[in-house]
Amino acid sequence: RKWREEYAKRIEEKDESARVEQQEWKDKAKDELDEWYSRQNDQNDKIKKSNREAEEAFVNERDSTIPGHEWERVANLCDFTSKSYKCTKDTSRMRSIILQLKQSPLKRENKALCVTAE
């Protein structure tokens, strides 16, 4: 009988220590999770801010209309890396023409069409 009482007492103590330890683990996990969410939200805010700035810069550059710089805008929007993929079309001719037009754009003369009324 004495052994059973001691055994029950030891089991009760172990159960209590396990409950305390489990509660400590839960509290620690909650704190770490809150910290992780905080860091994640900060990182997301930074990414959102940089994306907004990049988008604003892109839109400003895209919408800027400086006469005579049209081909430069086209060249900025095109990818001119000379990577050759086996399954794509050869765009080297187009690339060279756009770069040539960027360096020396076509001169357009403003000649009004004269339509004579008969």
The answer on pLDDT for 103 being more than 70 is yes
Tell if the pTM clears 0.95, that is, is over it.
Answer: no
86: which DSSP letter?
T
What value does the mean pLDDT take over residues 40-62?
A: 93
The answer on pLDDT for 39 being more than 90 is yes
How does residue 116 score in pLDDT terms, banded at 50, 70 and 90? very low
**Average model confidence (pLDDT) across the chain:** 81
How does residue 9 score in pLDDT terms, banded at 50, 70 and 90? very high
The answer on pLDDT for 44 being more than 80 is yes
How far apart are alpha carbons 83 and 77 in whole angstroms?
A: 17
Please report the sign of the dihedral spanned by the C-alpha atoms of residue 111, residue 75, residue 87, residue 93.
positive
pLDDT value of residue 66: 72
